[in-house]
Structure 1
Amino acid sequence: MNPIVAKIAIQLAAEAYKHRKKIIIIIISVLIFLLILFAAIFGSSDESKNDYPNISDEVMAFYPVVSNYAMVYDIPEYTDIILAIIMVETEGKQLDIMQSSESLGLPANSITDPITSIDAGIKHLAKVIKDAENRGLDFWTPIQAYNYGGGFNDYVASNGKQYTFDLASSFAADKSNSNVVPYNNPVASFNGHWRYSYGNMYYVKLIQQLIGGASDIGNVDASPLGGDNYQALMSEAIRYDGWSYQWGGESPRTSFDCSGLTQYVYNSISYGLPRTAAEQYKATIRIAEPQPGDLVFFKGTNPSRPANSITHVGIYVDNTRMFDASSSGIGYHNWSSGYWGKHFAGFGRVFK
């Protein structure tokens, strides 16, 4: 090889090695851009549209980017939540697509690159999720914290460790000095179409509406009840999401306690259950690997009963979530860590 050519080649190789990280980032960015362009031109696959029926084509065009960064920040199971966040924030129609400028300490809409916005937004979401997990908080608190900031994790940690709409409202009231503004979104119809001027206290409700169906209730096809039965079970249960807990309650007329809720919703699909958590524990089959629609049981949550007594029950949804009636209200709660994790007693399969 010509000595001059060889020298130039060595110099180029050295420069390439010196700037290898920048080159890799540029290559990845180009590949991601091409994926977005391909999705925008040819549309999302029918399978993706079926998986996310409430997500617009504009947002689904960014699915490859969202999926990639969800894996980078180790929260791939939150892909549906992230797509819903984009829908709530911008519907995919602004450059700062996840409205994540402020998470970087910048003024709103400072980010002018959607990929940078997604990177920053998912990084922020992953941070508040990991913080919530470390504190034993529930599934929905960090989702609201995406909108409010990490301070909402602190607030919930000091007020029962379980998200409720009332906590989201009181946090916004504190931050806004109780100033309210009109809010005509249908999600606020039950509350008179207003919100506090800090953040959006309906944020979790908006996300829940968008992810709906199978995305929200775990793997429907894996349920031992059968997909249709499990869908019907959870459709009935979710009707009472956000209702207050009522000791001894066993119907919509009174609201529910834990076993009253499970008995009522399982009866709605013709699966008979006895009345109390302890009786339901005895009436179900012990299993080691639960699936959606099984029951998850807890012991020692009532100081007036023996420590090993079964005192609470919820509907198993996935490896962190159950749907139950507890003192923090009816809804999704984290069964695997925090208070409930310490009192976990086992799983039970319901059968006819």
Structure 2
Amino acid sequence: MKRKRKSIIGRLFMLFLLIVLIIGIRYIYMLKKQVTEVNKWQETVSQTAEEYGISEYEDIVMAIILTETKGNHIDLMQSSESKYGTTNQITTSEESIHSGVAHLAEVINESNNQGTDIWTAVQAYNFGSNYINYVSKNGNKNTIELAETYSRDILAPMLGNNTGKQYRYMNPQAFMRNRGYLYENGGNFFYADIVRWNMSIMKKIDKLPF
């Protein structure tokens, strides 16, 4: 009886490992496909980053594209709002990159002027440039804790959420930290952390032999 039980447990464990392996392979394949789509815009990103004087942050631009659209949308950098003040106004991916890089260059320059770190600028790409001034008065370094406070106490109320209303956000970083939520109208306070993670992932995926 004990042998039979051990045999069943062993089979279940092997089945579990097989399922984990299949899920892992599928996830890596999906990531590889997404990164390949983003990499198609490498030359345009490189030229545009040079034009706006932020060539050293080219990897961040690529990671923003992966974060925003995974390379699968006309508005690759979701830059319509920063240029036009409303969504769905961008008509070409080239325009999206130019507008997105221009906005990123603007917040990077402002961040440098105020002595904050590069990830403050990246978070400001999502929050808006006022976040840079907030960070400069609170330690000069972006953190998830600081970004969440800004999202909850400043950005969300400014855009109409005065009750701290939340909504589900099923992203791995968010799920591990707070079981997955953001504040309605409060932007994404995980944004800089996700871009940094995606930048690291892209470098690893690019080294895969397939």
TM-score strictly above 0.5: yes
Aligned to 2:135: 156
Contact 2:54 2:105 in 1 (8 A): yes
Distance 1:105 1:210 in 2: 27
Matching residue of 1:187: 173
Normalising by structure 2, what TM-score?
0.73
Distance 2:182 2:69 in 1: 19
Q: Secondary structure at the match of 1:160?
A: coil
Q: 1:77 to 1:54 in 2, by over 3 A?
A: farther
Query: How far did 1:210 drift?
Result: 1.1
Q: Compared with structure 1, are the counterparts of its residues 214 and 118 closer, same or farther at alpha carbon in structure 2 (3 Å cutoff)?
A: closer
Q: Is the 8 A contact 1:55 1:210 kept in 2?
A: no
C-alpha deviation, 1:127, in angstroms: 0.5
The higher-RCO structure (CA 8 Å, 6+ apart) is 2
CA deviations on 1:242-296 (whole Å, 9 max, x unpaired) are: xxxxxxxxxxxxxxxxxxxxxxxxxxxxxxxxxxxxxxxxxxxxxxxxxxxxxxx
1:154 offset after TM fit, Å?
Answer: 1.3
> SS where residue 141 of structure 1 aligns?
helix
How many aligned positions are there? 165
**Computing the radius of gyration over CA atoms, which structure comes out larger, 1 or 2?**
1
Change (3 A) 1:72 1:147: same
After superposition, the CA RMSD in angstroms is 2.1
In structure 1, C-alpha distance between the alignment counterparts of 2:33 and 2:187, rounded to whole Å: 23
Any runs of at least 4 consecutive aligned residues in structure 1 with deviations exceeding 4 A, and if so which?
52-55, 213-216
Choose which of 182, 207, 210 in structure 1 pairs with 2:195: 207
% same residue = 38
Q: Which letter maps to 2:182?
A: R
2:36 pairs with 1:57? yes
* Larger strand fraction of residues: 1
Unpaired runs of 5+ in structure 2?
Answer: 1-30, 157-161, 205-210
Q: Does the 8 Å contact 2:114/2:133 carry over to 1?
A: no
Match of 1:171 among 136, 150, 160: 150
Distance 1:122 1:54 in 2: 23
The residue identity in structure 1 corresponding to 2:173 is V
SS in 1 for 2:118: coil
Question: Where do 5+ consecutive residues of structure 1 fail to align?
Answer: 1-51, 217-352
SS at 1:181's partner residue? Answer: strand
Cα shift at 1:215:
6.0
